[in-house]
Structure 1
Amino acid sequence: MCEAFKNNYQLCEEIGRGKFGTISRCFHPISGSFFACKTIDKRPLTDPTDRECLENEPKIMTLLSPHPNIVKILDVFENDDSLSMVMELCEPFTLYDKIVQRTFSDGEAASLMKQLLEALSHCHKLGVVHRDVKPENLLFDGRNNLKVADFGSAVWLPEGRCIGGVVGTPYYIAPEVLMGREYNEKVDVWSAGVILYIMLAGVPPFYGESAAEIFEAVLRGNLRFPTRIFRTVSPEAKDLLRKMICRDVSKRFSADQALRHPWIQNGGESAEE
């Protein structure tokens, strides 16, 4: 831990873990406020790609701040051995914690998806691809606003360019990533579509008993809406899902296009309502 951090903050209990580091609560005596501190031990990170992500994360978060649906970064402390990022403190539960308890109505899901798409649209306009959009990385502030967190896998993508590298989490990873192709920011839209499907259905669209089986299901991309599960879900919601979870990247919606979809615009209400 950097001495400069210790001079400004008091480290409290651990509250979570990210891809590269631990997240703890910390206290700022001058303001009397609590924040979250992500601390990364740089010494085990020998892979150049991991080192690059480590260096990029605070820069990317600073570029993206402030945005109402992205976790705000406040301070960065670094020495030869560690990196500490002080961020706003969110609630101790994630969207994943909510999803495992129940399914969501069209209105609830549309409200949350709009916030996620607003954040992704902001990222993409600034050339940032998150690459690991999943419920565990979606937090909430004290007013229950959704906040995108953990930019440890994020990269800058120059306009009109593509990137490579298999990054992501099995259920949410886009097929073009698994196929080893170059890809663009629409991988985040695929992941967001999978999250929307799970919010409405309570199950993922592509399932397997192992990571390999999940990957096979994602590559097949056979999107189905079982009547038993989707009987209360509107046709408009299904239409948006088809356009977000679309294997053909050229036809897949961008975050901006998804935001303009009638289901999002109408807060999850169907045309009949």
Structure 2
Amino acid sequence: MSENLKKDYQLCEEIGRGKFGTVFRCFSLVSGDDFACKSIDKRLLTDSLDRECLEKEAKIMQLVTGNPNIVQIFDVYEDDSYLHLVIELCNSSDLFDRISKRTFSESEATAVMLPLMEAIAHCHILGVAHRDIKPDNVLFNEWNLLKLADFGSADWFLGGKSMSGIFGTPYYVAPEVISGRDYNEKVDVWSSGVILYMMLAGIPPFYGESAGEIFEAVIRGNLRFPTRIFDSVSPAAKDLLRKMLCKDVSKRFSAEQVLSMSNSCLILIVLFKVEN
């Protein structure tokens, strides 16, 4: 552990674990406030791409921090073996846990999508694509405020620069990423569309028994709305899903467009429920 980190924070129990590091609850020795500390073991980073992502993560988090729906970063410590990121503590259940237990009403799903898209739009305005939007990375703090987390796969796309490389998680990754083509920030919109579909349906829109089968289903992009599941879902919500899960990137909505349509959907959802 970094000596400077030990001077400022007391590490407590482990609360999470990833491929390259561990997340601990910690508290400030000055204020007594609780935080989370993401400790990344640099010795496990044998791939140059992994090292590049590590270098970007702290810089990108410092850039996007300040938005109320993004996990805030407070301190960074580094030594020869570890990189420690002291970040906001989110100690409530994540979205994956909530989705796995039940389906969401449209109003409940919209209440998640609006702050999530606010966070993504904020990143995109700053030229940052998250590239791993999934329910596991959508956290909630003790006041149930949504927080987008884990920028370990994030990248810059300033100046119209496209991105490359396969990042993300099978169910949520956009088809252009799997196809190996250069892509833009709208990959985050696709992933968010998958989340919206799962909240409403309880199942992913593109399914397979293996990663390979899932990728094939994503590339086909055959978006369906099974009647027994979507019968009570409004036309406005289905239309939004079509615009988010559009294979043609030029026609796929941007994060700002999703925000605008989501706000309109709130009114249409109410009207739809009253009429039915």
Do the structures match in fold with TM over 0.5?
Answer: yes
In the other structure, the counterpart of 2:63 is: 63
Q: Verify: 1:118 aligned to 2:125, yes or no.
A: no
Residue 44 and residue 19 in structure 1: after superposition, are their counterparts in 2 closer, same or farther (change >3 A)? closer
Contact 1:18 1:150 (C-alpha < 8 Å) held by counterparts: no
Contact 1:110 1:264 (C-alpha < 8 Å) held by counterparts: no
Q: Verify: 1:30 aligned to 2:30, yes or no.
A: yes
The farther-off stretch of 136-145 and 239-248 is: 136-145
1:43 alignment partner, SS class: helix
Q: How far apart are 1:78 and its partner, in Å?
A: 0.3
Q: How far apart are 1:170 and its partner, in Å?
A: 0.2
In the other structure, the counterpart of 2:14 is: 14
Contact 1:258 1:264 (C-alpha < 8 Å) held by counterparts: no
Task: Give the residue type in structure 2 aligned to 1:80.
Answer: D
Gaps of at least 5 residues in structure 2 are none
Contact 2:110 2:262 (C-alpha < 8 Å) held by counterparts: no
Contact 1:28 1:35 (C-alpha < 8 Å) held by counterparts: yes
Q: Per-residue CA shift, 1:184-225, capped at 9, x if unaligned?
A: 000000000000000000000000111011001001100000
Q: Pick the structure with more helix per residue.
A: 2
Q: Per-residue CA shift, 1:138-189, capped at 9, x if unaligned?
A: 0001211110000000011123121110111000000000000000000000
In the other structure, the counterpart of 2:186 is: 186
**Identity across aligned pairs (percent)?**
63
Task: Give the residue type in structure 1 aligned to 2:36.
Answer: A
Q: Which has the higher contact order (CA 8 A, sep 6+)?
A: 1
In the other structure, the counterpart of 2:168 is: 168
TM-score normalised over the length of structure 1: 0.97
Q: How far apart are 1:271 and its partner, in Å?
A: 4.1
1:190 alignment partner, SS class: helix
Q: How far apart are 1:34 and its partner, in Å?
A: 1.1
Residue 266 and residue 122 in structure 1: after superposition, are their counterparts in 2 closer, same or farther (change >3 A)? same
In the other structure, the counterpart of 2:151 is: 151
In the other structure, the counterpart of 2:211 is: 211
Task: Give the residue type in structure 2 aligned to 1:84.
Answer: H
Contact 1:26 1:34 (C-alpha < 8 Å) held by counterparts: yes
Q: Per-residue CA shift, 1:36-80, capped at 9, x if unaligned?
A: 000001012121111111011011001001111000000000011
Residue 193 and residue 15 in structure 1: after superposition, are their counterparts in 2 closer, same or farther (change >3 A)? same
Q: Verify: 1:245 aligned to 2:245, yes or no.
A: yes
Q: Which runs of 4+ in 1 moved over 4 A?
A: 262-265
Q: How far apart are 1:29 and its partner, in Å?
A: 2.3
Contact 2:78 2:84 (C-alpha < 8 Å) held by counterparts: yes
In the other structure, the counterpart of 2:108 is: 108
Taking the aligned partners of 1:123 and 1:268, their CA distance within structure 2 comes to 28
Taking the aligned partners of 1:50 and 1:73, their CA distance within structure 2 comes to 20
